[in-house]
A and B are shown apart, each in its own frame.
Chain A
Amino acid sequence: MTQHILNISYLIASITFIVGLKMLSNPASARKGNLLAAAGMTIAILATIFLYQNSETGEHLHNHLWIFGGLLIGGIVGTLAAKKVKMTAMPEMVSLFNGMGGACAALISLIEYNHISHIISYTPNSDTHSFQSTILIIAIGLIIGSVSFSGSIIAWGKLNGKIKDYSFSGQNILNLVILAVAIGAAGYIVVHPQHQLIFYTILLLSIIYGILFVLPIGGADMPVVISLLNSFTGVAAACGGFLYGNKVMLTGGILVGAAGTLLTILMCKAMNRSLKNVLIGSFGGGATTASGGAASGQGSYKEISLSDTAMIMSYANKVMIVPGYGLAVAQAQHTCHELEKILTEKGVEVKYAIHPVAGRMPGHMNVLLAEADVSYDKLLEMEQANDEFATTDVVLILGANDVVNPAAKTDPSSPIYGMPILDVELSKNVVVNKRSMKPGYAGIENELFFKPKTSMLFGDAKKVLQDLCAEIKNI
């Protein structure tokens, strides 16, 4: 009886995951979808604790104190961390939580392997063949979980600036060798499950692979990496589902694995890069060599004063705002909306051009501007925006850099060559707000800043926008 209720709970949870994910894809129902999936998760967790029975012995789970203690600690820390985090730090938070999931999957593999190696060592004549498929699943879960864990931690460190890009020659080859050795060792352990040392070597190699795999990747590729690691953890969770014949882990894990992979591919396409290219991590290597050469092409740039900017904007017919990570860092989304309102009152048409990879995650800018109540129909996707630049009088670039870099079109040696960009140059005037002339996240020079149409407006985005609002009001 309890087994049936458990199965039905899992079925309900699986359905909520699918429906929840579906609802998440529509702005109107997204929040409900998230809550629905959370409710399903709660049902699955509670049902497991109270109703789960060992398929062989029929035993219920014990150690309830430990379980609830863990749930309580994880729940409180998770809630606090998620509530306290600033909107700008959201991407690295997602990456961190993803790493926790990966570590969880790796730990499950670790414990289950210990369990099996225990059985084998106490019954020397046991047939190791019967464990082969279990060990295989355990090894896969271990590799994917550990890579996802260490990779996510590195991605988290890189996004909050604690870890710098780092690459050395031959890194790609070393990565491949490490991965190949880990997979080879996994194959070995399936046939000879009693060799514990090999198992821990796989764990170590996977963690190292995760680190080396994310370490050289910088700039525009970071969202892709997080999305990819997200789908890795999904597959690792599904391995757990395989291990226990647990349908809800299987559905949830594979669902995320498939959806995450598709999302990753969509992002790669938006940047005109192949997944293989990202995986091997050639981007970072390319960027370091290219940045040295690009510095030579500099010319002089011109600055524009606040009052001049206020002047050209308030007498423009159409202003397009291009937000980037600088806007997020300065927390300037509300001030930006303020500026938009003031200009609209003056009869200026204001729109936002959103590049798919602006910021640190796809949709980062949308979330940020939505927080400031900017209405949806003012946010243009890249294709729409590119059609409108020709009729735009002033483009105001707020802390965006790589997504407007013309080198992506003109310079085949540039690491971002081939990435679609916002064609801000089609407009009459381009005003670039940056804190300094330092290159953007991908570490490459931007010749846009030296174009005759372009003027630079240095300063923190929030401060500059506040001053701009004040100036425009006075006109």
Chain B
Amino acid sequence: MNNILQWVSNNQEIIYIVILMIFVGIEVIGRVPSVLHTPLMSGANAIHGVVIIGAIIVMGKAEADNYTALILGFLAVILGMLNVVGGFVVTDRMLEMFRKKK
């Protein structure tokens, strides 16, 4: 019990962010017209590509002789980048079509 309480108080900054972000996420998406559901899903898909930051950190911390970490990290960076770049480009392509609206 004490452990949990301490953990919560040690990580309270993070817990605040989580709670506030949940509300921001709901608030931001709440007023989206159905027209934009697909681009929005795709845009959100690109944003969670932020996981690449973790991949970069893992990769950059790996010791030069730890090949498992190097290879897995390298793979993680590639996959994360695919998510980010692919996500943003696909979203942009979808939205490009909305631009010419009269």
Residues of A within 8 A of B (CB): 13, 17-18, 20-22, 24-27, 30-31, 33-35, 37-38, 41, 44-45, 48-49, 52, 54, 59-64, 66-67, 69-71, 73-75, 77-79, 81-83, 85, 90-91, 93-94, 96-98, 100-101, 103-105, 107-108, 110-112, 114-115, 133, 226-227, 230, 233-234, 236-238, 240-260, 262-263, 354, 356, 361-364, 366-367, 370-371, 373, 375-376, 379, 381
Known A100-B82, A114-B68, A362-B37; judge A49-B56 contact (CB<8 A). Answer: yes
Q: Are A63 and B64 in contact (CB under 8 A)?
A: yes
> A255 touches which one: B24, B30, B62 (CB < 8 A)?
B24
Q: Are A362 and B81 in contact (CB under 8 A)?
A: no
Considering only CB atoms, which chain B residue lies closest to A110 in the complex? B72
Q: Given the complex of chains A and B, what is the CA–CA distance between A38 and B69 in angstroms?
A: 28
> A34 touches which one: B22, B86, B88 (CB < 8 A)?
B88
Q: Are A250 and B39 in contact (CB under 8 A)?
A: no
Q: Which of B39-61 contact A (CB under 8 A)?
A: 39-61
Q: Are B74 and A69 in contact (CB under 8 A)?
A: yes
Complex interface: chain A residues within 8 A of B96 (CB) = 31
The contact string, 1 if C-beta is below 8 Å from chain A, for chain B 7-29, is 10000001001100111111011
Q: Are A93 and B90 in contact (CB under 8 A)?
A: yes
Complex interface: chain A residues within 8 A of B55 (CB) = 70, 104, 107-108
Q: Is B5 an interface residue (CB 8 A)?
A: no
Q: A66-B59, A107-B55, A256-B47 are in contact. List 4 more A-B contacts (CB 8 A).
A: A52-B60, A67-B59, A108-B58, A111-B69
Known A44-B53, A67-B56, A74-B77; judge A366-B35 contact (CB<8 A). Answer: yes
Q: Are A63 and B70 in contact (CB under 8 A)?
A: yes
Judged by DSSP, the binding face of A is: helix
Complex interface: chain A residues within 8 A of B89 (CB) = 78-79, 82-83
Q: Given the complex of chains A and B, what is the CA–CA distance between A60 and B60 in angstroms?
A: 8
Considering only CB atoms, which chain B residue lies closest to A101 in the complex? B83
Q: Given the complex of chains A and B, what is the CA–CA distance between A246 and B17 in angstroms?
A: 11
Q: Are B42 and A70 in contact (CB under 8 A)?
A: no
Complex interface: chain B residues within 8 A of A370 (CB) = 35, 97-98, 101
How far in angstroms is the closest Cβ of chain A from B94? 5
Q: Are A263 and B29 in contact (CB under 8 A)?
A: yes
How far in angstroms is the closest Cβ of chain A from B72? 5
Q: Are A66 and B17 in contact (CB under 8 A)?
A: no
Closest 3 CB pairs of A and B: A61-B60, A74-B81, A258-B25
How far in angstroms is the closest Cβ of chain A from B14? 6
Q: Are B44 and A230 in contact (CB under 8 A)?
A: yes
Q: Are B94 and A74 in contact (CB under 8 A)?
A: no
Complex interface: chain B residues within 8 A of A375 (CB) = 101-102
Q: Are A226 and B59 in contact (CB under 8 A)?
A: no
Q: Given the complex of chains A and B, what is the CA–CA distance between A115 and B72 in angstroms?
A: 12
Q: Are A31 and B98 in contact (CB under 8 A)?
A: yes
> B70 touches which one: A66, A85, A233, A244 (CB < 8 A)?
A66
Considering only CB atoms, which chain A residue lies closest to B23 in the complex? A258
Q: Are B50 and A262 in contact (CB under 8 A)?
A: no
Complex interface: chain A residues within 8 A of B85 (CB) = 74-75, 78-79, 82
Q: Are A104 and B51 in contact (CB under 8 A)?
A: yes
Q: Given the complex of chains A and B, what is the CA–CA distance between A67 and B28 in angstroms?
A: 33
Q: Are A362 and B54 in contact (CB under 8 A)?
A: no
Complex interface: chain A residues within 8 A of B53 (CB) = 44-45, 48, 240, 246, 248-249
Known A73-B81, A362-B37; judge A253-B50 contact (CB<8 A). Answer: yes
Complex interface: chain A residues within 8 A of B102 (CB) = 375
Q: Are A262 and B99 in contact (CB under 8 A)?
A: no
Q: List 18 A-B contacts (CB under 8 A).
A: A25-B31, A25-B36, A45-B53, A45-B56, A49-B56, A70-B55, A79-B86, A85-B90, A94-B87, A107-B72, A111-B69, A246-B54, A249-B53, A250-B18, A258-B25, A259-B28, A363-B36, A367-B94
Complex interface: chain B residues within 8 A of A256 (CB) = 25, 44-45, 47-48
Q: Are A27 and B35 in contact (CB under 8 A)?
A: yes
How far in angstroms is the closest Cβ of chain A from B53? 5
> B86 touches which one: A100, A242, A253, A362 (CB < 8 A)?
A100
Q: Are A83 and B93 in contact (CB under 8 A)?
A: yes
Q: Are B47 and A20 in contact (CB under 8 A)?
A: yes
Q: Are A41 and B58 in contact (CB under 8 A)?
A: no
How far in angstroms is the closest Cβ of chain B from A58? 13
> A97 touches which one: B26, B35, B70, B86 (CB < 8 A)?
B86
How far in angstroms is the closest Cβ of chain B from A321? 16
Q: Given the complex of chains A and B, what is the CA–CA distance between A93 and B50 in angstroms?
A: 18
Complex interface: chain B residues within 8 A of A26 (CB) = 36
Q: Are A367 and B21 in contact (CB under 8 A)?
A: no
Q: Are B97 and A371 in contact (CB under 8 A)?
A: yes
Known A107-B72, A375-B101; judge A244-B38 contact (CB<8 A). Answer: no
Complex interface: chain B residues within 8 A of A96 (CB) = 86
